[in-house]
Structures are given as C-alpha cells and as structure tokens.
Amino acid sequence: MISTAIRVARVGSAAELAAAALVLLGFPALMLAALVPSVPAFAALAAVTYLADHYLHRKGSYLINRLSKVRAGLSIRFLIRQLLLILLLARLSLSDDLIFYGAVACFIAFYGLQAPHGALVTLIRNRRRMPVATRNVDLKSRIRIPDAPPRRLLHRSAEKMLHLDLFAVIGVLASTELDSAAAGFTGIGLTFGLGCLYVLALTPYVRGRKTPPRADVVLAAVDDWLAGYKPETVLYFSGSKDSAYQVNMWLETMEQLDTRPLIILRERAILNNLAPTTVPVICVPGGVHLMNLDLSTVRVALYAANVGKNIHLLRVPTMKHVFIGHGDSDKLASVNPYSKVYDEVWTAGRAGRDRYAIADVGVRDDDIVEVGRPQLAPIQSWQGVPEGRIPTVLYAPTWEGWDGNPGNTSIVLAGENIVTALVTADPPVRVLYKPHPFTGTVSKDAKAAHQRITALVEKSCAERAADPRFTADSAAMDRAKAELARIEARLAELAGAGGSRGDEAEATRDGMVDVPRHEEIARLRAEWNEAYWRSFPSHEHRVIKGAQPRLYDCFNVSDAMVSDISSVVSDFIASGKPYAVTDSAEVGAEEFKRHNTAVRAAVILSNEAAELGGLLDAVRDPSADPLADARTELKQYLLGPDEPKSIDQFNTAVGDLALKAEARNVGQEARLGAANADPAEAAELTTALPGQRAASAGETDGVSAG
C-alpha cells in the first residue's frame, strides 16, 4: 500500500511521503490549534510544518512543484502560517494588545520585502547568465568576469528569506506564554531587520563591476578567441540532460584528432553533465548567437544526434557536415531519413552502409564512409575463462523506448527468466546486471521488472555468500578495498582542487582544464576499476548502477553477454565473446536474424530463455563453440577491420573531408569572382577553377602522352 502511495504521489521514499503528509495535514491541524486556542499545540505543529517543508525542498520533491501549480507555493504556505498565528492571538483575546498590531505590521512588511528580494535574485541570475558558456576557452585574458555572489546569498534564496520569519513567530509565541511583549518585539525586530539586510546584501551584485560584461562584449571575446584558435573540426550536439552520454562517448576521440577540435553544445544542462575533457567547449543556447559566431576556419562538423537544432549549423556551406551518431545498431534510428541532410554519413563497418541501402531512405552509397568505432579501443579480446574463476555473464538490457514496442527490451517479458536461469545454472556462473540508465523512465512495467530483477540478483548473491562451495581471499579483498578507499580519497581531493565554480559566469572564466590533474584523474579511474573488481569475490553476483564501472569495463570482466537490439550488442562483438540476444517480440529466430544484422552470430533467446544453455556451453568449452567463426566474420562486417586502427581511419576521413570542403570554398570564391568580373577577366578566372585545372592538366597529359 505504501509503495502504491509512493508511486501515485511520485515521491522517492517513504520518508518523503511522510513529510508530504505532514505538510498537507499540518496546516489544517495548525488552524485547529489556533481556534482552540492552544499555544503549545500551535508551536509543535508549526515546527512540524517547518521541518517537513524544509525536508521536501532539500529532497527536491515533485510535490513541491505540484503545490506551486495549485496556488499553494512556498510563499503562500509561509503566509498562511503567519495568518494562523494572528488568528491565534485573536483567539487569545490579544487583538487589542500592542504585540498583535506589531505582528500584523511585521508580517505585512516582511511579505512586502519578498518582492524586492525576489526581483534582485532574478536580476542577478539573469545578468550573470552568459550568452555563451565555455570550458577550456581563455576568456579571462579578454574580458573581465567578476566573482559570483556568495553561494549563501543565492542558493535556495527564497527559502532562506522566508525562514527569517522564525524569529518573529518564536518571539510572538514566547510573548503569549511569558505575558511579556519584549520577546515578541525582539523577534519582530530581528525578522524585519534581517530581511532588510538580506535585500541590501544583494543590491551591489546588480550593478557596476560586480556584473559580467554585456552579451555583445562576451560574443566579441569568443570570436576573438576563435580567430586565434582557428578550430578545424567541430563536434556539435543538442539534447536533454539525460542524453549527455551521447556526446561524452566522443570526447576521447575528439582529443585524439589530428586537427584542432572544438565542441559546440546547445543546452546548458548538457554542459553541466559533460565529462571532463581537454577539448575547448562552447555552449551557445541562442540560435542567433550561434549563427553569428565566427566559424570560418571550421571545415568538418560532426553530429552525434539527429535533432532539430542541427539546422543552425547545417546552414553553413563552408564546412562539410557528417552524421556520426551515438551508436551503431539495427534500430530504426540508425537509418533515419533525416541523415539525407548531411554531406556524409560515417558508419563503423560495411553493415552500416548496407542498412542504408536496404532502408532506401535517400542516403547515397557514395556519401557513406566506414571509419570503425574509435570508442571500442578499450574493449579487450576474449582469451577464454581465466583459470580458477567461474564464468561471468553480463545481462545488459536496453530500455523500453518511447513507442511501447515489446521488442525494444527484454526486461519486461524475459528479464526475470534470463536472470533466474543464470543464477541457478549448474555448473554455476556469476551474473552482472547492468540496466540501461533510462530503464523505467517511460514504462512502469519496465521499472517494476527492473526492481524484481535487482531483488533476485541480490537474494542470489546473499545465498551464494552463505554457500560453503564458494570461497574468497578475504585478505586480497581487504587490500583491494583499502586501495579503493585511497583512490577515492585522492579523487575527492583532486575534485576539491578543481575548485567549486559559483555559477555559469565564474565557470566560464575559470574553466581551463588542468592537464596534469586531468591525466592523473584518468589514471586513478583506471586503477579504481581494477581495484573494484578485486574488492569482492569473483563468484559474487552484482547489480551495476551508475557511471562506474563503465559498460566496457563490464565487457572486459565478462565471458558472455545477454542483451537486446542496441549498440551494446555491436560494441560487445568487438570482444569476440559469445553473446545472446532476446527476441522479445517473438518473430522467430530466422526472421529475427534477417532483420537484425548484429544477431547473426548470437544465440537467439525466446522470452522463456530456454536457449541459454547454448550460450553457457560456448563459454565453458570455446573449442566446441559453433558460432566462433561467425562472430569473427560478423565483427569485421559490423565494425570494420582491426587495421588500420579505427582512430587512424577516423582521422583520415576527417582529413579527406576537410580537403573537399576547402576545394569547394576555393571553387566558390573563384565562381563569385568570375561573376563579378569583366567578361574577359571572367573567362580567365573560369580557367582557374580547380575542376577545370584538373581537366586541362588531363588534356595536356594526354597530348604529351600521345
């Protein structure tokens, strides 16, 4: 019943639900205490409503937003509590006392202070919001960006201002009990005085040297930096904060480019969720601002997602535009007709080219370039199950998607069957369960299935810990845990050394990466990953949540994987390990393979997961694996050849396309010059066009050869 109430109220826990109930029931009870009247009851109930309200705000509860929508926002709740205090005074026959009039005057004046306070806070935030936010871009030497106001002034400022009424409330309640107005007027004076001081403390930050430069000055500074840096290759991205992983997966590739890279983002939420990188980053929320940026030196623009805002850069003809995507799979998103707008579409291997040919969505074969997947470099090839360790099987289902198609994910119909078969397998295997981060965000059935699977894995883990057949090296685990603690402490220290940036303007000013620190963090994270897997027994089942360990780290410690149609399958194929894919829509194994290239070397599972034995047999005896050769062939088909390395293929593709862009620009300049010249000059310029120069050279060569 409680879980149903939590789901209906959209709260995160029973404690949050209890706090919400106290807020909703506390005010009627407070009114009753005022009517009785009872000062002790009123004081106790007021304390409950204050604390419950504060808890919900600290948790960022969904209910807080809902209360605002029904005209019961934060300011109204405080005002109601103050009015109920006035009612209590009236019911105590104090309406003719000076403390009554003092309380009324205080609360009216205090409520009046909310307007200038709110206006100042809004004005400060708006004036400190940059038209362009950056990382690794040196604006500090070009424009003056002042420090952010102290965090204590702006963080949850409305709550802090409203809670100053506590002095008046406590003072007035004390006066009713002590029969003395001194305590009441002291509290009233503190409330009003501190409220005025809060407003005065904010005032300097809306004018003069405490405000950042105007938008045109900032944009000019960015253009000045661009003119000096001369970016050549841009990674462009737009999306919701939850899609930040789609750009994060390309950061290391951008760092390894032979050309000067730049990342352009369109949403501040993406910038705030961007992983650390040494590449310059510019976040331009405004389309007009983006279109006015000086990107004249950029020759190649890379797009990781098909979104409407891409048009703001696609309109620039001096650069070539490439769709690189954020994963290579047999999903419909991998053959989106939108891809026709790009000059080229880059795929991992031949499979991507064939997908577009089969889909016939207007993408020409000549415009497709196979570049491999540079991100797959960390994935290790399989050498068989290490001696002395039971096999590890990774279950990594994708999420349910937006369209409700049962074939999107196995988690609803097959997930429990898969995990049950794995945790009860004989001989035993270890299970790693790593769900997609979006799992359960759309479908309540998927969320419920995820919770049941998590409980099943954790229960099996506890049973295995008590099973005498499974032993562990406690000393080695203790050493690994100590190493983890040391690494985490150092990472926390480095995070602190990075400094806490007060706001967007300050982060833009101080956003230059400390390269040695960045490299040390990368090294420590690799060490953390190694220590993590040694910190618990190699037979222990595990639910993997959050960003660490990464999916590819899970690939490397696993001997097989079960998943769904997604880029996860294509990526796992790089390891050469056995894998299984669930036919959740139950179209049949042959039809499933016909429609989904990535499963041609997979064990195909029904929703009952009865076929899992074939996958486990291949893991236990690789020499008898009937799909080993098929996986090798499929790996090259999907991901391209191992040599040259994918990053080298990628750099070659960037360089080739940059030359095409440059040739186009030279030709365009020549054509424009010819159009504006005299007829005689036009004829001379026409012969200077690159294409005609080549033709003339060919004719000359032909004559010479003849």
CATH code for the domain of 283: 3.40.50.11820
Band of residue 680 on the pLDDT scale cut at 50, 70, 90: low
How much is the mean pLDDT over the chain?
Answer: 88
Residues 6+ apart with CB under 8 A from 611: 580, 603, 604, 605
* 285 lies in the same domain as 427: no
pLDDT at 1: 45
Question: Could you tell me if residue 137 is inside a domain?
Answer: no
| 134 in a structural domain | no
pLDDT digits (tens, 9 = 90+) for 72-124: 888 899 999 999 999 999 999 998 899 999 999 999 999 999 999 999 999 99
| Same domain as 267, residue 318 | yes
**Residue environment code for 358-386, b if the CB has 16+ CB neighbours within 10 A, otherwise e:** eeeeebeeebbbbbbbbbbeebeebeebe
pLDDT greater than 80 at residue 362 = yes
Q: Could you tell me what percent of the chain has a pLDDT over 90?
A: 62
387: in domain: no
| Ranges assigned E (strand) in 490-612 | 542-543, 560-563, 579-582, 603-605
pLDDT of residue 677: 66
Check whether residue 173 and residue 317 sit in a common domain.
no
For the segment 329-340, what is each residue's pLDDT rounded down to a tens digit?
Answer: 666 667 788 888
Q: Is residue 136 part of a domain?
A: no
SS3 706: coil
Which amino acid is located at 586 in the chain? E
Q: Indicate whether 576 and 674 sit together in one domain.
A: no
187-194 contacts: CB < 8 A, separation 24 or more?
Answer: 188/102, 188/103, 188/106, 190/164, 191/106, 191/110, 191/164, 191/165, 191/166, 191/167, 192/106, 192/109, 192/110, 192/113, 192/168, 194/164, 194/167
Mean pLDDT of 665-674: 84
pLDDT tens readout for residues 440-484: 888 899 999 999 999 999 999 999 999 888 988 899 999 999 999
Same domain, 350 and 484: no
Contact assessment for residue 575 and residue 379, using Cβ atoms and an 8 Å cutoff: yes
Please indicate, yes or no, whether residues 104 and 226 belong to a single structural domain of this protein.
no
Mean pLDDT of 658-674: 88
Does residue 176 share a domain with residue 69? Answer: yes
**Residue that terminates a domain, selected from 210, 235, 260:** 210
Which domain range does residue 691 map to? 648-705
- Give the pLDDT band (50/70/90) at residue 165: very high
Residue 139 within a domain: no
Q: Is residue 380 part of a domain?
A: no
CATH number assigned to the domain comprising residue 421: 3.40.50.2000
Identify whether residues 295 and 356 lie together within a single domain. yes
Are 100 and 206 contained in the same domain? yes
Q: List beta partners, residue 261.
A: 233
Distance, CA of 480 to CA of 476 (rounded, Å): 6
Q: Label residue 678 by pLDDT band (50, 70, 90).
A: low
Instruction: Let me know whether 199 and 52 are in one domain.
Output: yes
Number of domain units in the chain: 5
- Identify the domain boundary among 619, 639, 659: 639
In terms of domains, do 176 and 53 share one?
yes
In a domain, 517, yes or no: yes
pLDDT computed for residue 11 by the predictor: 54
- Domain-ending residue, one of 639, 663, 681: 639
pLDDT for residue 2: 45
Are 347 and 650 contacting, i.e. CB atoms less than 8 angstroms apart? Answer: no
In a domain, 615, yes or no: yes
My answer on whether 466 and 486 are in the same domain is: no
